[in-house]
Amino acid sequence: MSSRAHGPLWCATFVVLDAAQAVLFGSFLQRMDSFLIGFLVFGLSSLGCLVAVLWRVPHELQTARAMPGLLAMLNVSSAAGWLAYLGAIQLIEPAVAFTVFSGVIPLAVVAARAWTPAQTPLHGWERTGLAVLALGLVALAVTTLAGLSGFVRGGGAVAAAGLLFSVLSGVAMSGMLLASYRLSARGVSPTAVFALRFPLYLLLAAGGYLLGLDDKGSLPPADLLAAVAVGLAVLAFPIYAVQKAVSLTSALTLGAATALIPVVVLVMQMAEGRVDYSQATAVGLAIYTAGALLAAAGRARAESRRKPHRPFLDVSGSRPPPG
């Protein structure tokens, strides 16, 4: 197939895998220790990336070590983001948790632009899209708090905690993305960034497991192996799929594909059957998706008018290296 056909295919790949991550992890973590699963999945994937970096480009680790502030930001934000996210998808509907988490990221990045000089103003479509996106998040939050969503693991306090975890995870992950872009701008590859992202998280996850903070009883080894295998497939491989999609398709196509992930999450959780279908959730997702698509179109128009190209999430003021 041509590269034009490959681009949408890679987009579809990471959309499906990211959606599966929210649904399957929500299901697994209802009955498994989230600290243990997180430690094994992120420990194995980051170890694999570290081995690859040491073998091919060991100098990148030295480059990263010269920026301790960025490494600290990368680790703190990653640890906070994943701990909060893995907590959120256990407490509230996966589609809601994933959408709030995803939607907070661009809003937090836009807020960060206010403190960054020499930024190109947002396109009009982009501003409107982000406003509609925020409205969709508010609708989903109200739906969850009012008990109209497909699933809440408890009462109103649990719903509020799940939403809070989702918001915190989105804010933290935006910090992780900013740190990643800044490291990339200084010559540290995505593989090396991934390898350096999880040391603090792994320490916290190991401590949480040893203290039994999320102990749900004994677990058959086969179930644990299955959860780890699925985790590696839906967490590690999508990163590669996104990188391939970036190189083969337009910003508008990529943004549109990303905006559709929450919809796919809703479809998958309906197919899984653990979560009831909620019309109120579907309405909130529709509002969110419309805003996200409009914002993606505005970003694509803004990027097409200026060169050299710089990703929306790069607010560091320095341009990432080619490729």
Residue 235: the pLDDT is 73
65: exposed, middle or buried (Cβ count in 10 Å: 0-12, 13-18, 19+) = exposed
CA distance 95 to 26: 10
Judged by DSSP in three states, 92 sits in strand
- Does the pLDDT at position 5 exceed 70? no
Q: Greater confidence, 37 or 119?
A: 37
CA distance 146 to 59: 53
Q: Greater confidence, 269 or 109?
A: 269
Lowest-pLDDT choice from 67-71, 86-90, 174-178, 304-308: 304-308
Over the chain, what is the mean pLDDT? 85
Residue 8: the pLDDT is 81
Query: What's the Cα-to-Cα distance from 264 to each of 5, 23, 218, 222, 272, rounded to whole Å?
Result: 21, 10, 32, 28, 12
Please, are residues 129 and 291 in contact by the beta-carbon 8 Å criterion?
Answer: yes
pLDDT band at 50; cut points 50, 70, 90: very high
State the pTM of this model: 0.85
CB atoms within 10 A of CB 72: 12
* Cis upstream peptide for 238 (omega within 30°): no
CB atoms within 10 A of CB 129: 25
Residue 3: the pLDDT is 54
pLDDT band at 66; cut points 50, 70, 90: very high
pLDDT band at 129; cut points 50, 70, 90: very high
